[in-house]
Every structure is written in structure tokens, then in C-alpha cells.
């Protein structure tokens, strides 16, 4: 019923009233929302706007930037600067932090991956934007990188936009997870997935199996038991999905459960893993935990990690809590911290 629809702005205002908050938070999220709408538009135009292909530049990660990586980054930075909510930003696509010194009336820090899954953009597979909001340390109005290096438990908000068959915004401010779908005709995000929850159990795992020769035995054991299906120790069959865009894989898990694995392995461990802690692992961990799931490196809770570098990477095992706990138990056995437990 159109007249019963709740827009993201109404939702935020009702949250603001319920929590007796200032309006700053609502304007902060609204700036993010507008930026995501603009990125969605550019992603959807794709080849028609000459947005595909390489930008001809490289980022600090040593990755060739796609045109849309750069475009999404510029849009996200511009649209979130004007509102005066942030004293600083950090992006996957820029080497150092970006300080905002004029006309700021708030003390938030914005961290983001402007275009996640960009290896998929040229083949029209779902991509997204991931964001995380921290508070700047008291009295800091010209933040340095060190001011961003806060554990994930300090996030005040986190979320992602997924530019898939529909454009959705999924976010948390620490009171559960809510999903909004963009009504392209009206240009508004509408509440369509209130209070998203991840089932504790699942029969679906998500991993890039081409890396299996590099995996730790704990991961190999977990995946092999899933592949063994009903006749194996898990006593049930498993399905496998791997999109290659973290936003798309995590969104599926928030919708129907699952286990997402991008662990450190023998090949990537010198870099600390593949996924970036500050603007991929931490925001996704916040969302997953708020939806009743778990998020770990396999050996420790992701949101407890004390970051030591802005673009540091970490292992990621997240999703249905029973699966994450199982994998953590396998790591404890591997590390000689616990006896080997048979899979029940
Ligand atoms: P980004 O496009 O921002 O660099 O992120 C890509 C990440 C993540 O989205 C995805 O889960 C992972 O890279 C896929 O890695 P593989 O290509 O090694 O599977
Ligand atoms: Mn990414
Ligand atoms: Mn990216």
C-alpha cells in the first residue's frame, strides 16, 4: 500500500525521536543515501555512459582502478563533505585520510569502499558501496590516520548499498539491521526488509575455491565436510555460492543465512589477507552481528581487532553463528588450543 510506505528519512526521524537524538545523525545518513543514489545511477548506465573499463591509475592497494572506482569515490567524498557532519574521511581509493576543516559542525569519521566488487562491473554482476562511521577522538578536528584506527566495536553506524537486480541500502546504527529498496520512479529508499536476521544454521557456504591449495587445514576441513554432504560428517547437503562482490555475498547471507569465508592463507598472509579491515570487514561484521550472526578472522572476533594501519587486511569468516563457531573450533584445534572435536 503506497500510503503505508516508510521512506528511509521517515525511518531515521522516527529512530531519532525514539532515541531522543539530535538531527545530525539523520542528515549524516541522508548524505550517504544521496551519494548511493548517484552511484547507483552511474552503475546502471554502465557502458552507455562510458563508465566501464580501467581508469588508467592504480590505488594504494596496488590494484588497477576501474573508472567507476574513481567516479564512485569522487561522488561519495563530494556528497558527504558538504553536510558538515565529518571531520575526516578514509577510502579504499585514496592513500591517506582526507581532512575536512571548513564548516564542520560534527565529529564523525567516514570510512568507505566506494565500489566493492569492481572486478565484476564490466560483466554486469552486482557491485556495491560499503561505509562505516566512527567518532573522531575528543578535541580532534584535524584527524590523522591514527585517529581512524579504532576497533570495530566503536562504529556508530555501518551499511552498504548493493547495486543488483534492485538497488538496496542495508544499515545498522547498533539497534538491528534494516533494508531499504530504491523506488527508482520516486527516487526514495523504502523500508522493505525491517529487522533482518541471519539464521544460526545454514546449508550454504561461500568461498573462492580456486584458493583451496593455499588454505589452512581448518578451512580445508570445514569445506571438505560441506562437500561431503549427507553421507559426510555434517549429515546434510550444502550449496555453494561465490559472487566475488563481498556486498552481494554478504547481502545474500543477511537474507537467507550462510557462511562467507575469505581467510588468510599461505599465499595472502604476508599481506594480512585479502579483505580490508576498516572499510570492508568491520562494517560487514557490525551488520552481521547486529543481525544475530558472527564475524571472526577464524581466530578472533573481527570487531575486537585493534587496527594498526588504515588499509590493513584481515581474514574474514562471517555469517550463520553455528558455522562461524564451528570454524573457530577447527582453528583452536589446529593451534593446539583445544582437542579435536568430531563434527556432530
Ligand atoms: P574491491 O572490488 O573493493 O577491491 O573488493 C573486492 C573484494 C570483495 O568484494 C570480494 O569478496 C573479493 O574481493 C573477491 O576476491 P576474489 O576475486 O579473490 O574472489
Ligand atoms: Mn571491496
Ligand atoms: Mn572497492
Q: What is the pLDDT of residues 72-82, one digit of tens each?
A: 999 999 999 98
CATH of the domain at 147: 3.30.540.10
Residues 168, 261, single domain; the answer is no
In this prediction, residue 1 carries a pLDDT of 54
Number of domains making up the chain: 2
Whether 198 is covered by a domain: the verdict is: no
Question: How far does the centroid of ligand 2 lie from the alpha carbon of residue 139, in Å?
Answer: 31
| Ligand 1 atom nearest to 116, measured from its CA | 3
Q: Is 84 in the pocket of ligand 1 (CB under 6 A)?
A: no
Asked if residue 108 belongs to a domain, the reply is: yes
Which one of 162, 193, 224 terminates a domain? 193
pLDDT attached to residue 120: 95
What CATH number corresponds to the domain at position 303? 3.40.190.80
Assigned domain for 282 exists? yes
Does 199 fall in a domain?
no
Asked if 139 and 243 sit in the same domain, the reply is no
CA distance 153 to 48: 41
Taking the centre of ligand 3 as the mean of its atom positions, its distance from the CA of residue 127, in whole angstroms, is 9
| Shared domain check, 208 and 185 | no
pLDDT, greater one: 273 or 63: 273
Distance from Cα 190 to the centre of ligand 1, integer Å: 28
Residues 224 and 321 in one domain: yes
Q: Which ligand has its closest atom nearest to the C-alpha of 273?
A: 1
pLDDT level of residue 27 (50, 70, 90 thresholds): confident
**pLDDT band at residue 225 using 50, 70 and 90 as cut-offs:** very high
Residue 135 lies in a domain: yes
Model confidence pLDDT, tens digit, residues 9-22 = 999 888 888 777 77
Among the three residues 193, 219, 235, which one is the final residue of a domain in this structure?
Answer: 193
Note whether residue 329 is domain-resident: yes
> Are 43 and 145 contained in the same domain?
yes
Asked if 23 and 50 sit in the same domain, the reply is: yes
CA nearest ligand 1 atom 6, residue: 117
- 189 and 221 share a domain? no
245 touches ligand 1 (CB under 6 Å): yes
The CA–CA distances, whole Å, from 160 to 17, 179, 214, 341 equal 24, 10, 30, 37
**Residue 245 and residue 250: Cα distance in Å, rounded?**
9
Q: What is the pLDDT of residue 342?
A: 62
Is the domain of 144 the same as that of 214?
A: no
- The answer to whether residue 138 is domain-embedded is yes
pLDDT at 324: 98
Contact between 253 and 293 under an 8 Å Cβ cutoff? The reply is yes
Alpha carbon distance 163, 224 (integer Å): 32
Q: Mention every residue, 6+ apart, whose C-beta is less than 8 A from residue 183.
A: 189, 190
Which of 159, 193, 227 is a domain's end point? 193
The DSSP code for 155 is -
Q: Is pLDDT above 60 for 23?
A: yes
209 lines ligand 1 (CB under 6 A): no
* Residues 293 and 198: beta-carbon distance below 8 Å: yes
Specify whether 115 is located in the same domain as 218: no
Q: Are residues 163 and 208 in the same domain?
A: no
Q: Quote the pLDDT of residue 333.
A: 96
71 versus 47: which is more confidently predicted?
Answer: 71
Q: 274 and 329: one domain?
A: yes
Domain range holding 235? Answer: 204-343
Q: Please state the rounded mean pLDDT for residues 229-244.
A: 98
The pLDDT-based confidence of 344 (bands split at 50, 70, 90) is: low
184 CA from centroid of ligand 2 (Å): 25
Residue ranges in 56-144 assigned as alpha helix (H): 67-81
What would the pLDDT profile of 105-149 be if each residue is shown by its tens digit? 778 999 999 999 999 999 999 999 999 999 999 989 899 999 999
Please tell me whether residues 170 and 289 are part of one structural domain.
no
Residue holding cell 569445506? 223
CA dist 15 to 26, 104, 176, 339, Å?
9, 23, 12, 47
Amino acid at each position: 500500500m503506497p500510503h503505508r510506505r516508510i521512506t528511509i528519512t521517515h525511518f531515521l526521524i522516527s529512530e531519532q525521536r525514539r532515541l531522543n537524538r539530535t538531527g545530525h545523525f539523520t542528515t549524516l545518513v541522508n548524505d550517504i543515501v544521496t551519494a548511493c543514489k548517484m552511484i547507483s545511477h552511474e552503475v546502471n548506465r554502465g557502458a552507455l555512459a562510458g563508465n566501464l573499463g580501467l581508469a588508467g591509475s592504480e590505488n594504494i592497494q596496488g590494484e588497477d582502478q576501474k573508472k567507476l572506482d574513481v567516479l564512485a569515490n569522487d561522488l561519495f567524498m563530494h556528497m558527504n563533505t558538504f553536510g558538515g557532519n565529518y571531520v575526516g574521511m578514509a577510502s579504499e581509493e585514496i592513500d591517506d585520510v582526507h581532512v575536512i576543516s571548513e564548516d564542520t559542525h560534527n565529529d564523525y569519521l567516514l570510512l568507505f569502499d566506494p565500489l566493492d566488487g569492481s572486478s565484476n562491473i564490466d560483466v554486469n554482476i552486482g557491485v556495491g558501496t560499503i561505509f562505516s562511521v566512527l567518532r573522531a577522538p575528543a578535541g580532534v578536528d584535524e584527524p590523522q590516520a591514527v585517529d581512524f584506527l579504532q576497533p570495530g566495536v566503536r562504529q556508530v553506524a555501518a551499511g552498504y548499498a548493493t547495486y543488483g537486480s534492485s538497488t538496496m541500502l542495508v544499515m545498522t546504527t547498533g539497534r538491528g539491521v534494516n533494508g531499504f529498496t530504491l523506488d527508482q520512479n520516486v527516487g526514495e529508499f523504502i523500508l522493505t526488509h525491517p529487522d533482518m536476521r541471519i539464521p544460526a544454521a545454514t546449508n550454504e557456504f561461500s568461498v573462492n575455491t580456486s584458493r583451496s591449495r593455499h588454505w589452512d587445514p581448518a578451512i580445508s576441513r570445514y569445506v571438505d565436510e560441506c562437500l561431503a554432504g549427507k553421507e559426510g560428517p555434517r549429515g546434510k547437503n550444502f550449496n555453494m555460492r561465490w559472487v566475488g562482490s563481498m556486498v552481494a555475498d554478504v547481502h545474500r547471507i543477511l537474507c537467507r543465512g550462510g557462511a562467507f569465508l575469505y581467510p588468510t592463507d599461505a599465499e595472502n598472509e604476508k599481506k594480512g589477507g585479502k579483505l580490508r579491515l576498516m572499510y570492508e570487514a568491520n562494517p560487514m561484521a557490525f551488520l552481521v552481528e547486529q543481525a544475530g550472526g558472527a564475524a571472526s578472522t577464524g581466530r578472533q572476533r573481527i570487531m575486537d581487532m585493534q587496527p594498526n594501519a588504515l588499509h590493513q587486511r584481515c581474514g574474514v569468516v562471517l555469517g550463520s553463528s553455528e558455522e562461524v563457531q564451528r570454524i573457530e573450533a577447527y582453528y583452536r584445534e589446529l593451534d593446539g588450543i583445544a582437542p579435536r572435536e568430531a563434527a556432530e
